[in-house]
A and B are shown apart, each in its own frame.
Chain A
Amino acid sequence: MLIFERSHPGRRNAAQAPHHAAAAGGPSTGLRTGIPAALLRQDRPLLPEASEMDVVRHYTRLSQKNFSIDTHFYPLGSCTMKYNPRACNTLAMLPNFLARHPLAPESTGQGVLACLYDLQEILKDVTGMAGVSLMPMAGAQGEFAGIAMIRAYHDMRGDTARSEIIVPDAAHGTNPATAVMCGYTVKEIPTGANGDVDLDALRAATGPQTAGLMLTNPSTLGVFEKRITDIQKVIHDAGGLLYYDGANLNAILGKVKPGDMGFDVIHMNLHKTFSTPHGGGGPGAGAVGVAQRLLPFLPLPVVAKLPSPAGGESAARGAKPAGGEGINNEVFRYLTEKDLPQSIGHLSAFSGNIGILLRAYVYARMLGAEGMHRVAEFATLNANYLMAELYKAGFTVAFPQRRASHEFIISMKPLKDATGISAMDVAKRLLDKGYHPPTTYFPMLVPECLLIEPTETESKETLDGFVAALKEIRDEAHATPELVKGAPHTMPVRRLDDVKAARELDLTWKTPTSTAPV
């Protein structure tokens, strides 16, 4: 049901309309817009007409149909669906943050700039990088920024013959897409049977044409790449750079620094690791961190802390709260093209997804350095507990000989061979049992796979309940397979025809001709 289908001609929110428009009887009459009459549309825009109460009920009902981290266990592998602490929302929505206009002078926004500067410093510290820009507005944009910086680095040195980016076959699909978007060709290398990168294949693929390697560590297979120091040597010896895909940073947060592993550039999904709300398609935040040699290329704007030009005077005023001049004798300002002329440039109109950055900042401050260790420890403990319990229950774990990082893979292939019930059927039936399904059919290397990431915020009871639900579904697959094949049975919508949806994609609502507004 769309809001358009609740539309009735003439139904309005008079209280919400601008005063003069309401008085004139409609939104499009009598407005002095300055737009030439010839350019004004003649027919009325096709907008839904509904009362305030209709709108509130419509969207409240939609929200109640949501399967979300606030309502259900959500072990969607690679997505790090952890609890979003309420304090992060509350503080990021302080009125002065919300009301701040992006074009307001920096002198009136020293508080928000101080928060962003602190966040940059925290992220530098926890990843071991030399500089951070918070500007990319999603993980994929962070990847784009990272590879664009690698390109800018090689170009600046006149090293323009490097045309290839190496990507392991287990990588997220965004990695090869990013390389191609930045004008590179992709060289894919295989994964060995134990889940690690095939080092011989990497050596064979590396050469003077290599611009860089994109690596996720721990990988999408949920295992830590043990030979990372060998890998970085192969790439660096050939003159290439190493890109760290931060999708799985949760597993090592505060434990291992990508900078120490030899990575030159990294993107972090703040919406995953730093727990800002996501899952409905955004908004995200894909901050990038760089090693020393890539500092000049960071995307703009970056927040800098400078000594206050009026420092002496402010200090003379003693403990009086800092006003327009800055905070504690320091001034925060955005660096521009003048400061970083080699920057790859702007990635958004203003300052990234600033509301998300503030939430991530509060989260990081609440955790502190000590808490960040615990994120990695408990994320790993939960994943390994769940993997061990499922293994004990007879499920096929993809890499049982390896310790899971923060996520792991089970394969439903034995169940499919025995009963015809696929990983997708199991995933749909989990909805009926009150669990969001894990990621299905990714990575493609493991047939009929479920990629399971419980995150650190779940209790043992929740994990035990999930194991019990999977065992029930396995029993149902043998006893009453039709029940599983027909799932979900209890959701607002039944099994969706994803094949038809992909083949006949239709995203436009069209007015039924009989009720077209005039």
Chain B
Amino acid sequence: MSNPANLKYTASHEWIRSEADGTISIGITQHAQELLGDMVFVENPAVGRKLKAKEECAVVESVKAAADVYAPVAGEVTAVNSELDSAPEKINADPYAAWMFKMKPASAADVAALMDAAAYQAVVDSEAH
């Protein structure tokens, strides 16, 4: 599965989608879910929480490991995907459909400055030992 070209990415393996209402949706990438394996638990931030860029704000736990998820930019949490509470496996099935939480970014320019799909792919390739 390739990384969708319409999304933005972080080096810590989050994807970011700009929504029509000015918010952004955040999830973890195909590469991240593949490394982690079968998801068993997702912990999302509280709605209304104000986040700094790169702040730890969520946890995904698989049979192999627990991993932190980071806020890609500064902003406020506006919604969480509570479907994942009972069905964390949706992240494995389609990581780009299974958004975790939405934020109202403090600055649209911060979002625009994130990596595109090609730059993210280069990060993934450089990680492969």
Interface residues of A (CB under 8 A from B): 193, 398, 441, 444-447, 498-499, 502-503
Shortest beta-carbon distance, A426 to chain B, in Å? 15
Among B38, B128, B129, chain A packs the most CB atoms within 10 A around the CB of B129
List 9 extra interface pairs beyond A398-B129, A498-B63, A503-B41, CB under 8 A.
A193-B129, A441-B37, A441-B65, A444-B65, A446-B129, A447-B128, A499-B40, A499-B89, A503-B40
Q: B129–A441 contact, CB under 8 A? A: no
Given A398-B129, A447-B35, residue A503 in contact with residue B64 (CB < 8 A): no
Kindly state the separation between the CA atoms of A174 and B102 in the bound complex, as whole angstroms.
Answer: 31
B72 within 8 A of A: no
Kindly state the separation between the CA atoms of A503 and B84 in the bound complex, as whole angstroms.
Answer: 12
Smallest Cβ-Cβ distance to B67: which chain A residue: A444
Shortest beta-carbon distance, B10 to chain A, in Å? 16
Task: Encode contact with A along B54-80: 1 for CB under 8 Å, 0 otherwise.
Answer: 000000010111000000000000000
Q: B64–A444 contact, CB under 8 A? A: yes
Q: B63–A499 contact, CB under 8 A? A: yes
Q: B129–A502 contact, CB under 8 A? A: no
Task: Encode contact with A along B20-52: 1 for CB under 8 Å, 0 otherwise.
Answer: 000000000000000101101100000000000
Kindly state the separation between the CA atoms of A444 and B89 in the bound complex, as whole angstroms.
Answer: 20
Q: Which residues of B have CB within 8 Å of A444?
A: 35, 64-65
Q: Could you write out 26 A-B pairs with CB less than 8 Å apart?
A: A193-B129, A398-B129, A441-B37, A441-B64, A441-B65, A444-B35, A444-B64, A444-B65, A445-B129, A446-B129, A447-B35, A447-B128, A447-B129, A498-B38, A498-B63, A499-B38, A499-B40, A499-B63, A499-B89, A502-B40, A502-B41, A502-B61, A502-B63, A503-B40, A503-B41, A503-B88
Shortest beta-carbon distance, A439 to chain B, in Å? 11
Kindly state the separation between the CA atoms of A447 and B32 in the bound complex, as whole angstroms.
Answer: 12
Q: Which residues of B have CB within 8 Å of A502?
A: 40-41, 61, 63
Q: Which residues of B have CB within 8 Å of A499?
A: 38, 40, 63, 89
Q: Which residues of A have CB within 8 Å of B38?
A: 498-499
Q: Which residues of A have CB within 8 Å of B63?
A: 498-499, 502
Q: Which residues of A have CB within 8 Å of B65?
A: 441, 444
Among B37, B40, B61, B89, chain A packs the most CB atoms within 10 A around the CB of B40
Interface residues of B (CB under 8 A from A): 35, 37-38, 40-41, 61, 63-65, 88-89, 128-129
Chain A at the B interface: mostly helix, strand, loop or mixed?
loop
Q: Which 6 A-B pairs have the closest CB atoms?
A: A502-B40, A499-B38, A441-B64, A503-B40, A498-B63, A444-B65
Shortest beta-carbon distance, B125 to chain A, in Å? 13
Kindly state the separation between the CA atoms of A398 and B41 in the bound complex, as whole angstroms.
Answer: 30
Shortest beta-carbon distance, B95 to chain A, in Å? 17
Kindly state the separation between the CA atoms of A489 and B129 in the bound complex, as whole angstroms.
Answer: 34
Kindly state the separation between the CA atoms of A503 and B38 in the bound complex, as whole angstroms.
Answer: 10
Kindly state the separation between the CA atoms of A446 and B35 in the bound complex, as whole angstroms.
Answer: 10
Smallest Cβ-Cβ distance to A411: which chain B residue: B129
Q: Which residues of A have CB within 8 Å of B64?
A: 441, 444
Kindly state the separation between the CA atoms of A289 and B32 in the bound complex, as whole angstroms.
Answer: 39
Q: Which residues of A have CB within 8 Å of B37?
A: 441
Kindly state the separation between the CA atoms of A503 and B65 in the bound complex, as whole angstroms.
Answer: 14
Q: Which residues of B have CB within 8 Å of A193?
A: 129
Kindly state the separation between the CA atoms of A398 and B63 in the bound complex, as whole angstroms.
Answer: 23
Kindly state the separation between the CA atoms of A471 and B37 in the bound complex, as whole angstroms.
Answer: 26
Q: Which residues of A have CB within 8 Å of B89?
A: 499
Smallest Cβ-Cβ distance to A504: which chain B residue: B40
Smallest Cβ-Cβ distance to B87: which chain A residue: A503
Kindly state the separation between the CA atoms of A33 and B64 in the bound complex, as whole angstroms.
Answer: 49
Shortest beta-carbon distance, B41 to chain A, in Å? 8
Smallest Cβ-Cβ distance to B37: which chain A residue: A441
Q: Which residues of B have CB within 8 Å of A446?
A: 129
Shortest beta-carbon distance, A409 to chain B, in Å? 11
Smallest Cβ-Cβ distance to A443: which chain B residue: B65
Kindly state the separation between the CA atoms of A447 and B128 in the bound complex, as whole angstroms.
Answer: 9
Q: Which residues of A have CB within 8 Å of B129?
A: 193, 398, 445-447
Smallest Cβ-Cβ distance to A498: which chain B residue: B63
Kindly state the separation between the CA atoms of A277 and B38 in the bound complex, as whole angstroms.
Answer: 32
Shortest beta-carbon distance, B17 to chain A, in Å? 27
Smallest Cβ-Cβ distance to B92: which chain A residue: A499
Kindly state the separation between the CA atoms of A398 and B129 in the bound complex, as whole angstroms.
Answer: 9
Kindly state the separation between the CA atoms of A430 and B129 in the bound complex, as whole angstroms.
Answer: 26
Kindly state the separation between the CA atoms of A193 and B129 in the bound complex, as whole angstroms.
Answer: 8
Q: Which residues of A have CB within 8 Å of B128?
A: 447
Shortest beta-carbon distance, A216 to chain B, in Å? 17
Smallest Cβ-Cβ distance to A503: which chain B residue: B40
Shortest beta-carbon distance, A500 to chain B, in Å? 9
Kindly state the separation between the CA atoms of A193 and B126 in the bound complex, as whole angstroms.
Answer: 11
Q: Which residues of B have CB within 8 Å of A445?
A: 129
Kindly state the separation between the CA atoms of A398 and B40 in the bound complex, as whole angstroms.
Answer: 28
Q: Which residues of B have CB within 8 Å of A398?
A: 129
Shortest beta-carbon distance, B104 to chain A, in Å? 26
Q: Which residues of B have CB within 8 Å of A503?
A: 40-41, 88
Smallest Cβ-Cβ distance to B36: which chain A residue: A444
Smallest Cβ-Cβ distance to B86: which chain A residue: A503
Shortest beta-carbon distance, B33 to chain A, in Å? 13
Q: Which residues of B have CB within 8 Å of A447?
A: 35, 128-129
Shortest beta-carbon distance, B62 to chain A, in Å? 8
Smallest Cβ-Cβ distance to B66: which chain A residue: A173
Kindly state the separation between the CA atoms of A254 and B57 in the bound complex, as whole angstroms.
Answer: 44
